[in-house]
Amino acid sequence: MDIKNLTLIGTKKMLDDKELSARELWRALFDFAKKENKEIHGFLRFQEDESKWKGLPIAVKDNMLAVGMPTTCASKILENYQPSYQATVIDKLEKNGLGIFGKTNMDEFAMGSSTESSAFGITKNPHDLERVPGGSSGGSAAAVASGMALAALGSDTGGSIRQPASFCGVVGLKPTYGRVSRYGLVAMASSLDQIGTFTKDVKDAAYLLNIISGFDKYDSTSSKEHVPNYLELLDEDVKGLRIGVPKEYFIKGMDADAEKTVRNAIKKYESLGAEIVEISLPHTEYALAVYYILMPAEVSSNLARFDGIRYGYSIERDLENGNATLDDVYKISRAKGFGAEPRRRIMLGTFVLSHGYYDAYYLKAQKVRTKIIQDFNKAFEKVDVIATPTSPTPAFKIGEKISDPLTMYLSDIFTVSANLAGVPALSLPCGIVEREGKKLPVGLQLIGKHFDESTILRAAHSLEQAL
Amino acid sequence: MSIIDIKQIEHLAELARLKVSDEEKDKMAGELSAILGFVEKLDQADVVGVLPTSNAAGIFNAMRQDAVDQYNKQKELVKAAPASKDNLVKVKAVFE
């Protein structure tokens, strides 16, 4: 058994054919991952309860609630939090023959692009241990890339699946807003958050999307739109498919080698019979600014629930004297429980929503968001898929950007638009660049129409076979 | 250029119920000002007559029956709180 290269579909066949027992599989993967994790630190914890070693093992980002183990969001404020209920996606995985193998590291509350803001230590990129795996779902990406996991779930608010998938050389899919229930996902920015997948190939992405998609009465933003069989259309070719290349995504400051790799991938589509169309998404330049207003505003509201009263870290547990006031419990618990990035975003969000600033920031950003959506709608009248780089650079060095928040934010520049518009997007490994003797993966981003994951999966599958 | 000063940081910290140390106030004022400086490019966008978006996938008015769904883990929820009494969450006095 080639443990590092196991896929979901391939392993399922081995289990179904009784070539391998689930127990043997879990034991082998567990032993391998425990050892590998000492260096990579993609997992925060593993499934130690052997009675749960059933079916296909899958890793889950530590912001989705699974009963029986803590959910921490890589934050001190939830360090010992034991969920009393389970996320809908976890229920769906378990009902469909998958088991939770472990919980993966992430930027604290999914806030970051490098997994360096985790309160429980950084994760390293398996392709170069001196580099970050990307973020915020860096643990999930690194776990799949290193072979510690067959596949993983992550969440994507501004690129948190696609950017780490790109940095680690795996397939990362952010479905349409509303495609997958978020019940039991710890909310960061509710108008943008979406659960998605990390897999070793496109087929596994389609397989997992089949399982996790669909309406859920516990998530009022989940959609009743029909869920097709995503595996069915995968093998069709891309002849005649119209692929739009937006000029705004090939900008100054883009890594030259990475750009060349992405352009070559797009050229490859032409040789496969697709039609390449130059398009324009004129409001792209505003996307990051819109994102860094709307997202912190929603963060400041969502994180208000961590108040030191009901669950999570509280100074109430530390102080034996009764001197603290109610106000102290709120303020000190939150100050000690949250790390620097959540605190910064709470303050920024509070500012843009505060009296006298709401119209100038929040309302304005919501209006520009409408323009960004209109850009996509117009573009999709002419093309079926939009192809761009996933990230302006390959994986950067650990420590390179963590001290300057604004520089870190710029690494989301190509990914936030899809969240603002709610459209599905996927990152596919499309080549490598060499840096200091290390081979670093580059990702191609494919963006589709609302609820048209089928087309981006088909386009990705076609290129994957050709590369 | 919107510059956030220490006084505003203190006001925001109060609104957000977040204790911020003196040293951190200074740092935050600088970082927030830099981010707000960056987002000010939105002033160049023409949004006259444009409606704001809150749900990008066009899901409006998700309705359901106004029916009670029982949740049977009340004890577990209370147990998660740092302090409880008689199966109720206990908090500090609200009035001094």
Whether residues B91 and A329 touch (CB distance < 8 A) is answered with yes
> Is A61 one of the catalytic residues?
yes
Question: Tens digit of pLDDT for each residue in A445-462?
Answer: 999 999 999 999 999 999
Mean pLDDT of all residues in A201-212: 98
DSSP A217-268: TT-TTS--S----TTTTTT---TT-EEEEEGGGS-TTS-HHHHHHHHHHHHH
Domain of A144, in residue numbers: 3-234+454-466
**pLDDT recorded at residue B96:** 65
**pLDDT recorded at residue A208:** 98
Q: Which CATH number covers residue B29? A: 1.10.20.60
**pLDDT recorded at residue A321:** 55
Q: Is residue A262 part of a domain?
A: no
Q: Is residue B15 part of a domain?
A: yes
Q: Is residue A296 part of a domain?
A: no
**pLDDT recorded at residue A338:** 98
**pLDDT recorded at residue A196:** 98
Locate A169 and state its tokens.
């050389």
Residue numbers in B near A346 (CB within 8 A): 16, 18
Q: Would you place residue A107 in the very low, low, confident or very high pLDDT band (cuts 50, 70, 90)? A: very high
How many domains does chain B fold into?
Answer: 1
SS3 A372: helix
Catalytic residue among A75, A114, A160, A427: A160
Which uninterrupted H or E stretch holds A455? helix A453-466
- Identify the residue with better confidence: B72 or A111: A111
Mean pLDDT of all residues in A310-337: 87
Whether residues A286 and B42 touch (CB distance < 8 A) is answered with yes
Residue B1 has pLDDT above 60, yes or no: no
User: How close does chain B come to A280, measured CA to CA in Å?
Assistant: 16
Share of chain A above pLDDT 70, in %: 99
User: How close does chain A come to B73, measured CA to CA in Å?
Assistant: 7
Q: Is residue A196 part of a domain?
A: yes
Q: Is residue A110 part of a domain?
A: yes
Q: Is residue B29 part of a domain?
A: yes
Residue numbers in B near A366 (CB within 8 A): 52-54
Mean pLDDT of all residues in A238-265: 94
Q: Which residue has the tokens 């896929």?
A: A7
Q: Is residue B39 part of a domain?
A: yes
Residue numbers in A near B54 (CB within 8 A): 191, 366
Catalytic residue among A61, A124, A200, A401: A61
> Is A136 one of the catalytic residues?
yes
C-alpha torsion angle, residues A397, A398, A403, A405 (rounded to 10): 70
User: How close does chain A come to B86, measured CA to CA in Å?
Assistant: 15
Mean pLDDT of all residues in A373-379: 97
> Counting Cβ atoms within 10 Å, is residue A28 exposed (0-12), middle (13-18) or buried (19+)?
middle
Q: Is residue A399 part of a domain?
A: no
Which of B52, B94, B96 lies closest to A370 in CB terms? B52
Q: Is residue A41 part of a domain?
A: yes
Q: Is residue B63 part of a domain?
A: no
Q: Indicate the DSSP class of residue A213.
A: B
**pLDDT recorded at residue A70:** 97
Q: Which CATH number covers residue A106? A: 3.90.1300.10
> Is A280 one of the catalytic residues?
no
How many CB pairs (< 8 A) connect A and B?
170
Q: Is residue B85 part of a domain?
A: no
Question: Tens digit of pLDDT for each residue in A157-203?
Answer: 999 999 999 999 999 999 999 999 999 999 999 999 999 999 999 99
Mean pLDDT in chain A? 96
How many domains does chain A fold into?
Answer: 1
Q: What residues of chain B, 11 to 50, have a C-beta less than 8 Å from chain A?
A: 12-13, 15-20, 24, 28, 31-32, 34-36, 38-42, 45, 47, 50
Q: Is residue A185 part of a domain?
A: yes
Residue numbers in B near A326 (CB within 8 A): 91-94
Whether residues B82 and A308 touch (CB distance < 8 A) is answered with yes
Mean pLDDT of all residues in B31-44: 93
Locate A292 and state its tokens.
């860094």
Q: Is residue B94 part of a domain?
A: no
Residue numbers in B near A283 (CB within 8 A): 45
Q: Indicate the DSSP class of residue A388.
A: E
Domain of B15, in residue numbers: 6-43
Share of chain A above pLDDT 90, in %: 93
Q: Is the ipTM of this complex over 0.85?
A: yes
